[in-house]
Amino acid sequence: MAVSRSVRRGLAALAVLVTVPALTTPAGAQEPTPPGGTGDAAYRDAGLPGRSGDVSASGRLAAAGENRPVGQQAGYPRQTDLREFPENPDDKAIKLGLTPYHDIAPQLNELQQRSDRVSAEVVGQSTQGRDLYLVTLTAPESPAEAARQARWRELIEDDPTAAAENERLAREYKAPVWINANIHGDEWEGTDGALDVIDRLATSDDPADAALLESTRIYLTVTNNPDGRVAGTRANAAGFDVNRDHLTSTQPESRAVRDVLIETQPLVMIDEHGYTGTTLIEPGTPPHGRDYEYDLYIKHAYENALGMERAIGKLGYDETARADIPFRDFEPGEWDDWPPIFTPMYSIYHGAVGHTVEVPLRVNREEYEQLPVEELQRRSRINRDVAAATITSAVEYAEEHRGELLADQIETFRRGWAGEPQRDIPDEYVPGFGEEDRYSVEFPRAYVIPAGDGQRSAPAAARLVDHLVAHDVRVSRAEHTFHLGGEKYRKGSYVVDMHQPKRGLANAMLSAGQDISGDVPRMYDISGWSLGLLWGATVDVATDEAPAVRTTPVAAAGPTGSLPPSPNADLALTLTDGADVQAATYLLDRGVEVTRDEDGTLVVPASARSEAATAADRFGVTFTRAGKDSSGTPVAAPVIAAAASADELAVLRGLGFDVRPVSTAVLNDGFDFDGVSALVVSTGLDHDALTADAKRRVRAFLDEGGGVVARGAGGAAFNEAAGLLPVTAVEGRGDANGVVSVTDGEGDVLDRAPGHSFVYAPLWFTGLGESVTAEQRYARDPLVSGHWRAGENAGGPAEAAGEASVVSGVTDGGTRAVLFGTEPMFRDHPKGLYAQVADAVFWAS
């Protein structure tokens, strides 16, 4: 995950990376058409049915790819004739002497012909449609042996007490190890090291290797980000950092490896990255994820890291004499394992001992452009050897400690089912373990997600439930009405019983989180998140008592859309959730004459009932009967010019808006505002750097009634430079982030916004001129979870308390503007905040 902190959003800046729906063709490459497609359909395919269904491990993995060589009863090898991609001379790996993407399938095809230890499958497609390969290294297995392994794997999770007592399982269960490589596209060598390991083990006649493959199954996703590999970018082709996406699963690359992880249930996993100068091997520094069974993790993670360090030392390069092990060598907060957004941290919740490994020698970015090819290739050879050595060492650790690793994975799931507390860990449990390493949580007994007819947040509840199920969190549905904690819940409400094997992940996702500002001076990446508070669904916590109601397991949330019965009534749609916005843009795109009431409610004429029925069905939204005296103003489908980051563009497009990416350069190039109704500004647009002509066009757009929605420091700077709203924007510390409590302001643009929001580099507005209204304010004690300290010239939560987080106003010239100090679209994560963005867009347009 090595990256300068300035890339803290984990996203490519817009100006250089305006991308791209699926299937953009890189120069020189003839892209094949992806068979599975990407986006929502793939999400559904990948996520459902969940583990509560009866699809076996092999069945689900095979179903994710195009090639389906295996039935559920297949043994090993499971060999697939992988389709080969056209040679691309522009593949960025070539200059480094590494394997270009188009060579991977031919190599794997050839290896499968040579060796019955090698199986290759396709487990998904990248954003641009390249195949994602899973290679399995194992000694041949009969269908019966493979089926037994699959049953045991399920037993370990479903009934760990029985698994712990099963002597044959203890003897014969093959240790699954998972290697993920190249999730950052311009950190190449994990792929090549993995291919070297595959090549060696495929044909090795060393009896030790043969024995290894009798007791171990090694799974390798050889490149998790082939689009980035080819293009030489950290991000995927949509501009997302896949190694920040595991909590949210917005990208096909992260969903594919999530499903590999769930279905293979590795004891150990390695995520191969670069470049940290000195090889870096996790475990990480505090704060440690509080939802882990950390005792079971750290004892293996530390030992395994020491083994990997010895292995790279034996390579004999001066550059690999030692490693940095953050747990041992770094200060708290410098390389923490707190958020479940990184592959290894996310994997811990699925029972794996997860490690990030950073190969040492930089070959990307400036070095890629500037160093002599010979030096680049020398570095890449060393990096490649480091990758192979760490993979081999981790596999050997898993073989050697198979029994204990297996027992500890079983114990992780057993504690979950039993609802036992996490263990107190004594000082020096592993060398250096002390007070600063202690993070823990008291798990609640259950979460309840209310559902039922007419629930306003019904689509949000369904979205959250589907997300949980796709992540192997068990959710059930109440068969009757029940009472809990003084609340009455209707039949059909969802229950997350925390007596379950992956309770840690369930809690990491649903809980409010924790304010860790006082624990460490800074953090590596995000510190606060909460699907429970930010995804729009009501999520209630049952601390001590489980719901006393019969439930049935959920494989998919039930349908939620509805219309009022009377066919001649006009229909009202309230923009409570992003799904409501999607329904609105869907209707507008079809030419339905929608009007907007003063309170923001959209009214759809009865004559468009059939289109509304389709929208209700597709997006799960609820239309109600419109009031008789609705006489709103006609709404046009907004057309947005957006100077925004890749995640924000993705959110705006996902809501169904027509989005035209702009930047300083695009405006200076003569961008035509014709037809644009709102300008969204968050990053990449510097008003002062615009040419006189571009400034004139911006001014004309504003004078002709164009609206502005601005976000963050970039948006506030634009507001000031363009002379829009008279406010002073005050910046908090640039790395401060988390979930905040907010209250309603005096305006009515964001009337229905939820009581929590998300911030990164928080901003607030003071000195509001008469024409400016506070739409939303930071609460008295705003930080719910995350890390936000006052800095030298930057206020903390105490300074932001009570101040405006979002403001609106109309300029003298009649321009409507909304300024956000919060981050409602961050990494396409806080799904429950999108409606307020749409409210702002509709109001400003």
1: contact with Zn ion by CB under 5 A: yes
Q: Which is nearer to Zn ion, 243 or 845 (CB)?
A: 243
Shortest separation between residue 140's beta carbon and Zn ion, angstroms: 35
Are 2 and 280 spatial neighbours (Cβ–Cβ below 8 Å)?
Answer: yes
Shortest separation between residue 297's beta carbon and Zn ion, angstroms: 21
CA nearest to 253, candidates 119, 136, 365, 129? 129
Closest residue to Zn ion in the complex (CB): 273
355: contact with Zn ion by CB under 5 A: no
357: contact with Zn ion by CB under 5 A: no
362: contact with Zn ion by CB under 5 A: no
CB atoms within 10 A of CB 374: 9
What's the CA gap between 587 and 294, in Å, rounded? Answer: 50
CB atoms within 10 A of CB 440: 16
CB atoms within 10 A of CB 330: 17
Q: Which is nearer to Zn ion, 231 or 475 (CB)?
A: 231
x/- track of binding to Zn ion for residues 111-150 (CB under 5 A): ----------------------------------------
Shortest separation between residue 525's beta carbon and Zn ion, angstroms: 12
387: contact with Zn ion by CB under 5 A: no
Stretch that binds Zn ion, among 185-193, 381-389, 612-620, 814-822 (CB under 5 A): 185-193
List of residues 6+ apart from 581 with CB closer than 8 A: 575, 655, 656, 834, 835, 838
Shortest separation between residue 235's beta carbon and Zn ion, angstroms: 11
Q: Which is nearer to Zn ion, 1 or 61 (CB)?
A: 1
Q: Which residues pair with 737 in a beta bridge?
A: 760, 787
Shortest separation between residue 360's beta carbon and Zn ion, angstroms: 13
Shortest separation between residue 234's beta carbon and Zn ion, angstroms: 7
246: contact with Zn ion by CB under 5 A: no
Shortest separation between residue 191's beta carbon and Zn ion, angstroms: 13
Shortest separation between residue 185's beta carbon and Zn ion, angstroms: 9
CB atoms within 10 A of CB 210: 13
Q: Is 16 exposed, middle or buried (0-12, 13-18, 19+ CB in 10 A)?
A: exposed
Which of 8, 273, 697, 829 binds Zn ion (CB under 5 A)? It is: 273
- Torsion, CA 324, CA 330, CA 395, CA 170, rounded to 10: 160
- 105-144 as b/e, with b when 16 or more CB fall inside 10 Å? bebbbebbeebebbbbbbbbbbbbbbbbbbbbbbbebeee
Stretch that binds Zn ion, among 266-274, 448-456, 505-513, 562-570 (CB under 5 A): 266-274
Q: DSSP alpha helices (H): ranges in 670-796?
A: 692-703, 712-721
Shortest separation between residue 666's beta carbon and Zn ion, angstroms: 29
| Most distant CA atoms of the chain, gap in Å | 84
CA nearest to 294, candidates 426, 193, 403? 426
What's the CA gap between 608 and 722, in Å, rounded? Answer: 41
CB atoms within 10 A of CB 203: 12
844: contact with Zn ion by CB under 5 A: no
What's the CA gap between 99 and 360, in Å, rounded? Answer: 19
Shortest separation between residue 184's beta carbon and Zn ion, angstroms: 4
Q: Can you count the helices (H) and strands (E) in the chain?
A: 27, 33
Shortest separation between residue 710's beta carbon and Zn ion, angstroms: 32
719 residue type, one letter:
N
Name the 3-class secondary structure at 118.
strand
Binding residues for Zn ion, rule CB under 5 A, total 4
x/- track of binding to Zn ion for residues 144-183 (CB under 5 A): ----------------------------------------
Stretch that binds Zn ion, among 154-162, 270-278, 344-352, 359-367 (CB under 5 A): 270-278
Shortest separation between residue 342's beta carbon and Zn ion, angstroms: 9
Q: Which is nearer to Zn ion, 348 or 643 (CB)?
A: 348
Q: Which residues pair with 219 in a beta bridge?
A: 136, 178
DSSP strand E in 538-616: where?
540-542, 551-553, 571-573, 595-596, 602-604
Q: Which is nearer to Zn ion, 1 or 305 (CB)?
A: 1
The strand pair at 678-681 and 707-711 is best described as: parallel
Which token pair is 19?
A: 């991308």
Are 314 and 392 spatial neighbours (Cβ–Cβ below 8 Å)?
Answer: no
Which token pair is 688?
A: 């002062």
184: contact with Zn ion by CB under 5 A: yes
Q: Which is nearer to Zn ion, 157 or 186 (CB)?
A: 186
Shortest separation between residue 2's beta carbon and Zn ion, angstroms: 6
Stretch that binds Zn ion, among 16-24, 272-280, 401-409, 570-578 (CB under 5 A): 272-280
Stretch that binds Zn ion, among 39-47, 189-197, 271-279, 737-745 (CB under 5 A): 271-279
Stretch that binds Zn ion, among 1-9, 164-172, 438-446, 512-520 (CB under 5 A): 1-9
244: contact with Zn ion by CB under 5 A: no
- Size (the chain), residues: 845
Chain residues 766-805 in contact with Zn ion, contact rule CB under 5 A: none
Q: Which is nearer to Zn ion, 9 or 290 (CB)?
A: 9
Chain residues 186-215 in contact with Zn ion, contact rule CB under 5 A: 187
Q: Which is nearer to Zn ion, 249 or 343 (CB)?
A: 343
**DSSP letter, residue 8:** T
Shortest separation between residue 186's beta carbon and Zn ion, angstroms: 9
CA nearest to 47, candidates 266, 259, 351? 259
Q: Which is nearer to Zn ion, 182 or 422 (CB)?
A: 182
229: contact with Zn ion by CB under 5 A: no
361: contact with Zn ion by CB under 5 A: no
What's the CA gap between 714 and 800, in Å, rounded? Answer: 19
Query: Footprint of Zn ion on this chain (CB under 5 A)?
Result: 1, 184, 187, 273
